[in-house]
Amino acid sequence: MTTSLDIPTLPLRGRRLIEAGAGTGKTFTLAALYVRLVLGHGGDAAYPRPLMPPEILVVTFTEAATEELRDRIRARLRQAREVLLGRADSDPVLDRLLADVADDAREQAASRLDAAARVMDDAAIFTIHGFCQRMLKRHAFDSGALFASELVPDSSALFASLVEDYWRRQFYRQSSARQRLLAQWWETPEALQQEIRLLLHGGRPRALMLGETLINAPASIDEALARLDRSLAQRDEALARLRELWQGAGDEITTLLREAIDSGALNARLFRPADLEARLDAIRQWMIGEHDTPDDTLWDTKGRLWCSSTRLEDGRKKNHVPPVHPFFEALSQFETLAEDQRDQLTRVRAQVLAHARDALAQALDQEKRRRGMWDFDDLLNSLDEALAGPAGARLAERIRRNLPVAMIDEFQDTDPVQYRIFSTIYALPQHTAALALQDSDPLVAGTPEAFELPTALLMIGDPRQAIYAFRGADIDTYLQARRHVDQRYTLDRNFRSTEAMVSAVNRLFATESPFQLEEIPYEAVTAQGRDEMFVEAGEPVEALTCWYMDQASSVRRDDYLDTMATATCADITRLLAGARRGETGFRSSDETFRPLRPADIAILVRTGSEAMRVRQKLLEGGIRSVYLSQKTSVFESREAFHLLQLLEACAHPRNDRSLRAALATRLMSDSLSEVARLEADELEWEAMVERFDGYHRLWQRQGVLPMLRVIMRDFDIPARLLARADGERALTDVLHLGELAQTASARLDGEQALLRWWHQSLAGRFDSGMDPQSLILRLESDDTLVRVITIHKSKGLEYPLVYLPFIADHREVDSKSKTLMLSDETHGASLIMQVSDEQRARADRVRLQEDLRLLYVALTRARYLCRLGVGPIYKGTARKDTPAGATTLSGSALGALLCQHGACSSLDTAILGEVLGALVTPGSIALTAPPSEPERNAAAPEASREVGRARRFTGRIDRNWWVASYTALVEGARQPGDMTRQARDAMLEAQAPGLDLEVLGETSPIPLPPVRRLLDFPRGPRTGTFLHALLEEIDPDRLGELATPDSPYHDELYRLIRQRVQRSTLDPHWVAVLHDWCCAVLTAPLHPNLPGLSLDRLAGWRTELEFWLSAQGVSSARLDHLVRQHEALPGVYPELAPRTLAGMLKGYIDLVIEHDGRFYVIDWKSNHLGDTLEAYDQAAMMASVVSHRYDIQYVLYTLALHRHLKSRLPNYDFDAHLGGVLYLFLRGMTAEGGRGVLYRRPSRALIETLDRLLTEGERALDDESVEPSSIAAGERA
C-alpha cells in the first residue's frame, strides 16, 4: 500500500520506500529527514537517539550529486539553527519539525544543529563506489581487502592484454583446421574482446543463452572443438573437391554460367546479369584459397550457394535446361553439409565464447589482485563478496553500528549487486538475527545487540525515471525491493512546473497502464505552481503544444525529422524575436517582466545524430547552440590535426615542408595566397624560420603551453577563430588541447616524445595514465546559447522551455540482429544468440517500456512550456497492400500512450488526428501545425564580436600569508651540537615524504642490538613513522579483548603487525615483540596522577584529529615568549625560527581521548632517550621536551582541543573538561604503567591568552603585561 508522505511523522526505522516523482522535492525531503535524525525528532516515529552526520549514510550515484546534497543538507541544518534562534524565516515543514522543541531546549538543539553543520565535510555522503571503497578500507580485516590497492578509473587496457594472452595460449596451439574456424568466428583478438565485453557486467560473467538453452562453459576449448573435428574434416574434403574441380575446369564452369544467363535459360530475378561478374569473382577468390569460406554474397536468403545445382534447377525457366557440371553438384553437397553443421557450429562457438568469458573474468580478477588495483566494479563486487563470506555477518554488524541509518537516493537506478549490498547490511530483523547466530565471532554470534540494533533503510527513487538500463540499472531489482519494504510513500506535489504544465502531463499519462507495467502506475500529482508565467505578446500560452503533421498519408522518417528540425528553428526564432521586442518572456505576479533568453531553451534528443540535425538547422537560422551531451574526444576535432602540424613546425623550424604545412592551416592564416607570397619572398621566409626557431627555444625553456600562448598572440589566432561561425568551439578546443599537451609533457621526455604521444592520441591510442574524462570536448561559452541535450543527460535538470521535436520516432529491436540482451528471473541479464521471435518481441516490449519512462523524464524537465513533434511516421518499406495512412507510430512511447487513449492497437492518420484532438485542453494542451521556415530577417542578429577591455585587479595579495606548523616553527631551532643545516637538508632529501621528522637526527647503532624488547627497536624517522602508523590502526574499543589470548582481536592485531612488518624492511622477529608489547603495554595505566585512565577504558577517542588555526600576524618570538612565561621548564631552550605567523597554523593530533568527562591529548613519541628503562624518567623526558621544543607543540595541541570543545560542548569549561596532554615515550613504557609517560596541563591563562593572540594579533597583548604563572597554576607531573 502506498500513502502520501508526511515528513515529520515518517517512522525512521525499518525499510521505507519513498517514491518521489519528478519535481516533487526529493532533495528537500531528504534534507528535512536529515534534520530530524540530527535532532532526534519524531516521538515514537523518531530514531531512538539523535545522530550526527558521520553516522547517517547518504548514497547517490554521481560525485556532483554528493556535493549538491552535502551543500543542501548543510544549508538546511543552518537554516533550522537560525530558525530556532529566531534569526531566520521558517517554512511549514520546519515549523512542524521545530515546534516540538521545548523553549528551554532550543539553544541546545541549535548548538547540535550548528555542530552537525560544521562536521558536514565528514558526513557519510558518498557515491555507491565511494561508500564501498570506504567500507573495504575501514574494515579491511573483515572484508579481506588489500591495504594498498590503487583505484584506477579504467582497466580496459589490462583487459585487452589478457584477451591477447588468452588468444595466444588457447588459439595458437590448435590444429590448422580449428584455427581456420576460429578465425572465421573472430578475425582478431579485438573482435573476441568486443563479444566478451557483452558477457561481462561489472566484472562478473553474464549468462549466455542459445535460444532458450543456457550455455555452460566447457572445461577447455579443446573439449568443445573436438566435437567438430569430424565435421571440419568433411568440410575440408568437400572444399578440396570443389577446388580440384575448379582448377581443372574453371573456364568451362564460367562459360556455362555466362551462356545460361545470357541466353535467358535462368530466371533473371535469381541470376541477374549485372551480378554475374561479381559473383564469378567471389567464387574465383574462394576457389584459389583467398578465403576459407564463401563470401556472404554467394549465399541467398534460403541458405543456398549462388550456382549450386539446387539453385540452378530452381532458377531455370520453363522449357530450358540448367547448366550441368560436377562442380555445381559438389556445391550443392557443400551447402547441404554446411546446413547440417550450422547448428553444431553455432553451439560450439557459444561454448568457446562461454569458456573465454569465464577464463577472462577469472584472469582479470587475479591480475588486478596481483597488481593491487581496483576498478569501480571491483569496489562493488569486493564488498558484496565480503558480505556473503564467512565474516559477512560481523562486517554487516559493524557497518550498521557505525552507520545505523542509510538513505539511498536515486534508488530506481540500482542494480542487483548494489541492492544485495544494502539489503544485507540493513537486513530485515529476522534475517539479521539468523546471520548473527551463524557467525563464528563470539562478539557477534548469539548476542541480542547484534540484531537488536535499530536501523533504518530509506530508499528514495522514482520507477518512472528508471532509464539507465544501458548502465546496468535494473527495473526488476527496484520492483523486487518495492515488494519487501515495511511501507511505501509517495511525494505527490510538484514544485517545479506551472499548474498548466503539471495538468498537461497528468492528462497525457492518464491511462490504465501508461508504463505497461502493473507495478509502475502513474499517480497524478498536484502543482504548487510558480510565481510567474510564460507570455507571448502579453498573453499566456498553452503549456504543452503538439506540432502535428496533419495529412492523409504517412511520412518517411527523414521527412518527419527534417520537418520538426525546421519547426524547432522557426519557433525559437519567432520567440527570441518577440523577446527582443519585449513581448515574449516571463511575467511574475507583481508584473515584473523578464525577456526570454536563448539559455532558457532546451532541445531534448535521443541521439547525437538528432542533435546534429537540429543544431545544423539552428545554425542556418542564425541561432547559436551548445550540445551538452558531447562525448567526442577533442582529438577528433580538426584543430587537433592543425595543432599537430604547428607543433611539428616548432620542433623542426628548419624543415620548410613542416613550416609550410603549419602556416597553411586555418589557425595560422586566412588564405593560401598569403603562404605562397611569404614563401616567394626569401627574406620574409628566413625571418619566419628564425621566428619559429625562437618558438622552439621557448618550448624547451618554458614548456609547450607557454609557447602556444605566444604563438596565439603573435598570429592573432583567437580573433581569426572567433570570426568563424564555429569559432568559440574551435578556440575552446585549441585551449583544451594545449592544456592536455602541457600535462602530458610533464611525464614525457622532450618534444619528440610529445609529438609521438600526439600522433597516438589522434589514432585513438590514449595513454593509460590519461583520465578519459579529460579528453571529452569541453563546452564553449554557453551563456547565451540554446541548449541541446540528450534525454538521458537531462535527468535531474530543469529548463523553462523544452522542445521534444523528434519524440514520435523510435528505434525498435533490430529484426536482423543475431544477438540481444534480455533479462529473466532465472538467469538475470543474459546475452541471447539464435534469438527466437518470442524473445525478440519480449525485448521490444522492454524497449518500449523504457521509452515510456524516457518520455516521462523528458516532459517533466519543463517548467513553463513544452513542444512535441508528432507525425504519422511509417518506418521501413511498406507492402503493396499497406494503406496510405498506416503508421508505425504505435512502436514509439508517445504512440503507445496515444493508442491507450484511443483504445486501439495501431494508429493511422485518421485515428491519430482524432486522438490528439481529444487530448486538447484549453490553457493546457494545444494542437497546431509545425511552424514553417522562418524568414531570414526574423533570425536572431549576430552577437557582437567586439571584445571589451579586460578588468584591472585593484585588490591586494598578501604575500606573507602562509600555512605554518609546529615543524615549521622549530625548523632552524638549534643548540650547540645539533647537525648542520646542510647535513639536515641532505638527510631530508634522502628520506621519503611523510616521515617522523622529530627523530630525524637519530640513527641505529651498528651492529643492531638483538631483537628482544622495544627499547632495542631501530631508531630514526622511518621506524618512528612505522610505529605511528601501527598505532593509528589499533582500535582502543577492542583493546580489552587482548587479555584473552584466543580472542579474535588478539589474532587480528597479530596479522596487522605482521603485515606492517612485511611491508617494511624490519626483521620479521619484531612481529612477536611488537605484538607482546601492544598486549601488555596498551592496556596498562597511563599515569599515577590520573587513576583509572588507560587506553582500554575510554569513553571516546579520535585518531589523527586535524586542526587549522588562523593567525593574524604573530611573530614566533612573541609566541615563544608567551609559552616560556607560562610553561617554565628546566633546561636551555633552543630559539624558534624567526618567522611570522600570518595565515593558518595546521597540525594533526595523534589521539584525542575522553575519560571521566575530561578530554586529553595523546602524542606518540618514538624518541630514543637511552638503552635502559631508567633513561625514561621524568627528568629525561622533560629534557627531551625542551630540546625538541615539544612545549610549543603541546600548547598548540591544547589550544586546538580547547577551541574544538568550546564549539561542540554545551556549557564548556576549561577546568572541568580539558584534562591535559600525555606524551607517551613508547620505548620506555612498561606493563606496570606510569613509566615513559609525561603529563602536562597548560594553564587556562596561557591557553586563553594564546587564543586571543592568534585571533586578534599582537595588538591584543600590546596593552597588557603577561605575568608568568607559577608552576602550581597548572598541574605538573
Per-residue pLDDT of 718-770, as tens digits, reads: 998 888 877 888 888 899 999 999 988 888 888 899 999 899 888 776 654 56
Evaluate whether 499-623+799-811+852-938 and 634-775 have a shared fold: no
Which amino acid is located at 187 in the chain? Answer: E
Residues 816-869 have pLDDT tens digits of 778 888 888 788 889 999 888 898 999 999 999 999 999 999 999 999 999 999
pLDDT of residue 446: 41
Here the cell at position 1139 is 618567522
Q: Which pLDDT value is given to residue 968?
A: 82
Helix (H, G, I), strand (E, B) or coil at 204: strand
pLDDT greater than 60 at residue 1276: no
Asked whether residue 902 is marked as a ligand-binding residue, the answer is: no
149-185 pLDDT, tens digit per residue, is 788 877 888 899 999 999 999 999 999 888 988 998 9
- The confidence band for 647, taking pLDDT boundaries of 50, 70 and 90, is very high
631 is in an annotated binding site: no
Residue 568 has pLDDT above 90, yes or no: yes
Query: Is 983 a residue whose pLDDT tops 50?
Result: no
Q: Helices (H), strands (E): how many in the chain?
A: 46, 34
Residue ranges with strand state E in 321-412: 373-374, 405-408
> Cα–Cα distance between 866 and 858 in angstroms, integer?
9
- For residue 302, pLDDT over 50 is answered with yes
Mean pLDDT of 473-477: 87
User: Would the pLDDT of 967 be above 70?
Assistant: yes
Residue 229 is labelled as binding a ligand: no
pLDDT at 1077: 92
pLDDT at 650: 94
Mean pLDDT of 658-678: 88
- The rounded distance, in Å, linking the Cα atoms of 1010 and 65 is 56
Mean pLDDT of 453-473: 90
| 3 state SS for 428-474 | CHHHHHHHHHHCCCCCCCCCHHHHHCCCEEEEEECHHHCCCHHHCCC
Predicted pLDDT of residue 61: 83
Per-residue confidence (pLDDT) for residue 148, from 0 to 100: 66
Query: Do the annotations mark residue 20 as ligand-binding?
Result: yes
Cβ atoms of 853 and 897 within 8 Å: the answer is no
Query: Domain 2-147+404-491 class?
Result: alpha beta
CATH fold group of domain 962-992+1086-1273: Lambda Exonuclease; Chain A (3.90.320)
Provide CB contacts within 8 A for 480, sequence distance 6+: 419
696 is in an annotated binding site: no
- Check residue 726 and give its pLDDT: 77
Cα–Cα distances in Å, from 138 out to 132, 147, 399, 1034? Answer: 10, 10, 9, 12
Q: Check whether 1103 is labelled as a binding-site residue.
A: no
Residues of the chain above pLDDT 90, percent:
57
Average pLDDT over residues 1087-1096: 91
Catalytic residue among 114, 384, 462, 1163: 1163
Most confident range (mean pLDDT) of 288-292, 356-360, 957-961 is 356-360
**445's grid cell:** 554470534
Kindly tell me if the per-residue pLDDT of 994 is higher than 70.
no
> 1033-1056 burial by CB neighbour count: b if 16+ within 10 A, else e?
bbebebbebbeeeebbbbebbbeb
776 DSSP assignment = B
**Gap between the Cα atoms of 175 and 232, Å rounded:** 11
Grid cell at residue 703: 614548456
Q: What is the mean pLDDT of residues 1219-1224?
A: 96
Give the separation between CA 1144 and CA 900, rounded to whole angstroms: 67
Residue 315 and residue 264: Cα distance in Å, rounded?
Answer: 11
Q: Are 1213 and 1247 in contact (CB under 8 A)?
A: no
Give the C-alpha separation, 54 to 940, whole Å: 53
pLDDT at residue 366 in the model:
92
CATH architecture of the domain formed by 634-775? Orthogonal Bundle (1.10)
State the sign of the Cα–Cα–Cα–Cα dihedral 71, 73, 77, 83.
Answer: positive
Whose cell is 531534448? That residue is 604
Give the alpha-carbon dihedral of 974, 977, 979, 980, to 10 degrees.
70
Most confident range, picked from 46-50, 453-457, 1138-1142 = 46-50
Residues, the chain? 1277
Residue 1158 has pLDDT above 80, yes or no: yes
Q: What is the mean pLDDT of residues 1159-1174?
A: 92
CA distance 506 to 1242: 69
pLDDT of residue 443: 38
Where does the pLDDT of residue 989 fall: very low under 50, low under 70, confident under 90, or very high at 90 and above?
very low
Q: Is 291 annotated as a binding residue?
A: no
The predicted pLDDT at position 104 comes to: 87
**Cell 624490519, residue located:** 1066
Would you state the pLDDT for residue 992? 37
* pLDDT tens track for 242-280: 999 999 899 999 999 999 998 889 998 889 898 899 999
Amino acid 839 reads Q
Mean pLDDT, rounded, for 440-444 = 42
300 in catalytic set: no
pLDDT class of 803 with cuts at 50, 70, 90? very high
Please tell me whether 632 is known to bind a ligand.
no
Q: Does the annotation flag 154 for ligand binding? A: no
The answer to whether 529 is a known ligand-binding residue is: no
pLDDT per residue over 691-719, tens digit each?
A: 999 999 999 888 999 999 999 999 999 99
Question: So where are the chain's domains?
Answer: 2-147+404-491, 154-374, 499-623+799-811+852-938, 634-775, 962-992+1086-1273
Please determine, for residue 980, whether its predicted confidence score (pLDDT) is greater than 80: no
The answer, yes or no, to whether residue 1074 has pLDDT greater than 50, is: yes
Question: Can you give the pTM of this predicted structure?
Answer: 0.76
Correct CATH for 499-623+799-811+852-938 of 3.10.580.10, 1.10.1060.10, 3.10.20.740, 3.40.50.300 = 3.40.50.300
* Residue 653 CA neighbour count, 13 Å, CB half: 16
Does the annotation place 165 within a ligand binding site? no
Grid cell for residue 399: 557497518
Query: pLDDT digits over 218-236, tens only?
Result: 999 999 998 888 888 888 8
Cβ–Cβ under 8 Å, residues 1086 and 1026: no
Residue identified by cell 573474468 is: 361
With cut-offs at 50, 70 and 90, classify the pLDDT of residue 439: very low
Average pLDDT, the chain: 87
Output the pLDDT for position 1259: 76
Provide long-range contacts, Cβ within 8 A and 24+ apart, for 986-993. Answer: 991/1021, 991/1022, 992/1022
Best CA proximity match to 1177, nearest among 1219, 1227, 1133: 1227
pLDDT at 1257: 85
413-423 per-position pLDDT tens digit: 988 999 999 99
**pLDDT-based confidence at residue 291 (cuts at 50, 70, 90):** low
Q: Name the band, by pLDDT with cuts 50, 70 and 90, for residue 197.
A: very high
Q: How many C-beta atoms lie closer than 10 Å to residue 185's C-beta?
A: 14
Cβ–Cβ < 8 Å for 1003, 1024: no
Distance CA 1232, CA 1008 (A): 27
Range 122-131 average pLDDT: 93
142 or 901, higher pLDDT: 901
- Evaluate if residue 238 carries a pLDDT over 70: yes
Three-state DSSP string of 983-995: HHHHHHHHCCCCC
User: Residue 164 in contact with residue 189, Cβ under 8 Å?
Assistant: yes
Mean pLDDT of 553-563: 94
Is pLDDT larger for residue 148 or for residue 72? Answer: 72
pLDDT digits over 368-391, tens only?
888 888 888 889 999 999 999 999
Phi then psi for residue 829, to 5 deg, are -70, 125
Model confidence band, residue 771 (pLDDT cutoffs 50, 70, 90)? low
- pLDDT: is 896 or 635 the higher one? 896
Q: What percent of the chain has pLDDT over 70?
A: 91
pLDDT of residue 369: 87
Is residue 13 scored above 60 in pLDDT?
Answer: yes
Considering the domain 154-374, what is its CATH architecture?
Orthogonal Bundle (1.10)
**CB–CB of 50/37 below 8 Å?**
yes
Query: How do beta strands 487-491 and 2-4 pair?
Result: parallel
